[in-house]
Amino acid sequence: MNRKTLSVLAVALALGAPAFAQTRTVSKTSGDFNTLAAAVAFFTSSDPDTNAPNIIQITDSSVYDEAISVTIPVTIEGVAATRPIIACQPAPVQADANDGLVVSLGSPGSVTLRNLILIPSKTSTPSDDVLRMVGADSTFTLENILITANNGSDAPVTSDGLSDPSLVGATVVGDDGAHFTGVNAVYNLTNFVASAVTGDGIVCGGSAGIVFNINDGCIFSYNGRLGIQAHGAFTINAPTNRVLVLGNKGFAGIWFAGGHTVRIVNGANVVDNVVDGIEHNNDGGAPFSLSNAIIAGNGDDGLMINNTSVNQPISISNVTIADNAGSPIEVADAASPLLTVTAAITVSDSIIAGPGLELNHSGATAMTISNSAIVTAGPNALPSANNIGTGTINTASIINADPIFTSTTYGTSLFYNVTSGAYASAGTGSTALAGGGTYNSTAVDSWSLYKY
């Protein structure tokens, strides 16, 4: 060994060897442990290397009917072709009530859950949430996770959340699919599905400094109350594979419940919820941005805006609001002074259609709509008056043509397609008015507004 090689080795040793992940496997038939709880306990009580990331890999597709509390930084992931199922019993260490899988970090760290199905246990069913996560100055990542009811045979009642499942004979959790909270914690969700739970699909808690990032492929559907209850710095950003908020049975698909510093929805389809699509209210002290979205088929208003503290600017762009039973946009209520909205509202490159009620703007400042369609013709026409509220609506570069919507079922390539040539140059800068869709230049007058 020459002197140069020795010198390089000396430097490497001085800097310290790189920290490699330490991995333990879980399987019913082979591996380091045959229960997930045992693998978690191993890292909790005797972490071999505190400088190396802890990884637990479930190598089979079995059902793990267990009571589990996670109090250490760790990655838990399924690595088989089919995701393993965790049938969650009430956790030994609870964060607040009688939850299933509990992740609670008392000091800064990170936890990742990946490629897992979480259902309530038939053996001992949690009376609160399936998943509860809380931590301070921590990062939580959830990828390819399904949370739903137990079909009675230790399998999920739905595999994708795209249809309303039967709950006959099912074991359902007492409340929400997942409840996230903490102080200065960051949550990142991708391809996360919460469907057919008793309460909300997810609750994003409102503690100080908390950040929620809801990314591509997330679905919140057919839950007994809300799809999403949102607090904190809340962002939906799904440019590639839109977030779907579908068929939830409470008073809204998405409810901004208060305590926000950021409210952004970019890339979401909020459809067929029993009451309102989105409610922007309760301490709207942060600006609200809604873009690249479809709000359609909801049982009351498409977008509800109210409460005296809604005073920061509201921007709506590249959105289609159609076929809602109530108003496409409902701003406050002229009969309720306590609900007066003082925020400036701008709408651009959007399609506002019926056949529900007219726009209802009773805010204290003007709503400005430009380079958009206010539909007054065809089966999706609004009633004759554009505004039944007391507020002022200013318009510029508006078309009233029938968009000639074409619709098919969820999960296919088409939903609420625009096929009207009148829309070809009605957007800003004479671009195609797609209303949250993508203009297909290879077809004749075709806008694909829904791809999942």
The tokens for 251 are 């008073």
pLDDT greater than 90 at residue 285: no
Rounded to a whole number, what is the distance in angstroms from the first to the last CA of the chain? 59
Among 1.10.10, 2.160.20, 3.40.50, 2.60.40, what is the CATH number of 59-448? 2.160.20
What is the pLDDT, as a whole number, of residue 4?
43
C-alpha angle 143/267/290, rounded to 5°?
130
pLDDT greater than 90 at residue 127: yes
pTM, to two decimals: 0.92
Closest CA to 271 of 162, 401, 346, 423: 162
Model confidence band, residue 273 (pLDDT cutoffs 50, 70, 90): very high
Q: Could you give the percent of the chain with pLDDT greater than 90?
A: 67
**Coil, helix or strand at residue 277:** strand
Tens of pLDDT, residue by residue over 185-212, are 999 999 999 999 999 999 998 777 899 9
What is the pLDDT, as a whole number, of residue 284?
57
Segment 302-323 mean pLDDT:
90
The torsion angles phi and psi of 5, rounded to 5 degrees, stand at -65, -45
What is the pLDDT, as a whole number, of residue 97?
86
Segment 126-152 mean pLDDT:
97
- Which letter does DSSP use for residue 270 in this model? E
DSSP string, 129-150: -SEEEEEES-EEEEEEEEE--B
What is the pLDDT, as a whole number, of residue 413?
46
15-19, 296-300, 443-447 — which one is most confidently predicted on average? 296-300
Separation CA 100–CA 122 (nearest Å): 12
Contact 447, 427 (CB under 8 A): no
pLDDT greater than 70 at residue 448: no
Model confidence band, residue 282 (pLDDT cutoffs 50, 70, 90): low
Please report which helix (H) or strand (E) contains residue 369, including its range.
strand 367-374
What are the strands, taking DSSP E only, across 205-251?
A: 211-214, 219-221, 228-237, 243-246
Segment 319-325 mean pLDDT:
92
**Coil, helix or strand at residue 379:** coil
What is the pLDDT, as a whole number, of residue 449?
46
Closest CA to 302 of 267, 271, 280, 328: 328
Separation CA 210–CA 188 (nearest Å): 11
Closest CA to 320 of 347, 360, 345, 344: 347
What is the pLDDT, as a whole number, of residue 420?
80
Q: Kindly report which listed range (55-59, 332-336, 349-353, 384-388) carries the lowest average pLDDT score.
A: 332-336
Strands 74-78 and 202-204: unpaired
Q: Kindly report which listed range (145-154, 326-335, 361-370) carries the lowest average pLDDT score.
A: 326-335
* Number of CB atoms found within 10 A of residue 367's CB: 25
DSSP string, 80-122: SSS--EEEEEPPSS-SSSS-SEEEEESSS-EEEEEEEEEEE-S
Separation CA 403–CA 421 (nearest Å): 9
Model confidence band, residue 31 (pLDDT cutoffs 50, 70, 90): confident
Q: Kindly report which listed range (172-176, 241-245, 329-333, 414-418) carries the lowest average pLDDT score.
A: 414-418
The whole-chain average pLDDT of the chain stands at 88
What is the pLDDT, as a whole number, of residue 90?
96
Contact 331, 391 (CB under 8 A): yes
pLDDT greater than 90 at residue 445: no
Contact 445, 420 (CB under 8 A): yes
Model confidence band, residue 341 (pLDDT cutoffs 50, 70, 90): confident
C-alpha dist (Å) from residue 349 to 12, 64, 290, 293, 432: 57, 49, 12, 11, 9
Q: Checking phi first, is residue 399 left (phi over 0); if not, alpha (psi -120 to 50) or beta? A: beta
Separation CA 296–CA 380 (nearest Å): 11
Strands 438-440 and 446-448: antiparallel
Tens of pLDDT, residue by residue over 41-97, are 999 998 778 788 999 999 999 999 999 999 999 999 999 999 999 999 999 998 888
pLDDT greater than 70 at residue 266: yes
What is the pLDDT, as a whole number, of residue 410?
52
Model confidence band, residue 261 (pLDDT cutoffs 50, 70, 90): confident
The tokens for 122 are 């038939």
Segment 20-43 mean pLDDT:
93
What is the pLDDT, as a whole number, of residue 337?
66
Q: Kindly report which listed range (171-180, 181-190, 201-210, 281-290) carries the lowest average pLDDT score.
A: 281-290
What is the pLDDT, as a whole number, of residue 432?
84
Model confidence band, residue 281 (pLDDT cutoffs 50, 70, 90): confident
What is the pLDDT, as a whole number, of residue 286?
83
